[in-house]
Amino acid sequence: MKGHGHTKSGAMALFLGLVIALVTNLNPDVNSARAAGSIYQWSNLIEAYQKSTVPEHRLILATAYANTGRLEDAFEIFRELSQGAYTELSQAVIAKYSARTQKDPRDILAWNLQAFAYYALAKYDEAILCFRQVVALDSQNVWPRHFLALSLAAVKKIDEAVALLEETLPLDPGNQYTHLLLAMGYYEQGRYAAAFWHLLQSPKAAANLARYGIKVGK
């Protein structure tokens, strides 16, 4: 699906902006309802794997952090894993957990792990398929919706990413990440008034982007 009037450079700027928005260390009060809505017991995984050094366990921990809005913690682990044999780890995770979802299509953790592994391998279409499963199973959790939007942006499906974020906003109206991603998406579509309004709703997130020198647009 093509966005309205966005160029290749504009789509890349959106993608970079989404990455920074989702993984950089924002202040804790950027969003006040970090784990709201998820039906999965992520806290149990965090407690179980917090001290493990096993790469697969570290990926599980990062996934749990990502699903509860602890994005800075998730990013630190993703960055740590990327320094090692991340390709091999991702491939092994996909093989193991795709077998699990074949047996149990409602396995939220298994779909999550596949999604992040595919994303790490830049296999965005496959990541999208897995994140869609996560969103379908854990529909009230805003965080996998953000990562699905990120994946859609990576393949330049800006309109679809925006539509998803519009559906996401009512789940947690004060979530600055959703507002900021919407601002970026609307900007790419040329809907500048809407983009500006949502930017005003995400001052801390937007300020963080500015510190990193990210510019969205053509």
Of residues 48 and 20, the one with the higher pLDDT is: 48
Q: What is the mean pLDDT of the chain?
A: 83
pLDDT of residue 17: 52
Query: Mean pLDDT across the stretch 52-71?
Result: 94
d(CA 38, CA 35): 6
178-217 pLDDT, tens digit per residue, is 998 999 899 999 999 999 999 889 887 666 555 434 444 3
Query: Mean pLDDT across the stretch 108-136?
Result: 97
Confidence of residue 43 (pLDDT cuts 50, 70, 90): very high
Q: What is the pTM of this model?
A: 0.81
Q: What DSSP string runs through 96-165?
A: HHHHHHHH-TT-HHHHHHHHHHHHHTT-HHHHHHHHHHHHHHSTT-HHHHHHHHHHHHHTT-HHHHHHHH
141-160 pLDDT, tens digit per residue, is 999 999 999 899 999 999 99
pLDDT of residue 124: 96
CATH of 8-26+41-211, one of 1.10.1060.10, 3.90.700.10, 1.25.40.10, 1.10.150.120: 1.25.40.10
| Unique residue bearing structure tokens 């320094």 | 83
Q: Are 131 and 140 in contact (CB under 8 A)?
A: no
The domain limits of the chain are 8-26+41-211
74-110 pLDDT, tens digit per residue, is 888 988 998 888 899 999 999 999 999 999 999 999 9
pLDDT of residue 214: 45
Q: How many helices (H) and strands (E) does the chain have?
A: 12, 0
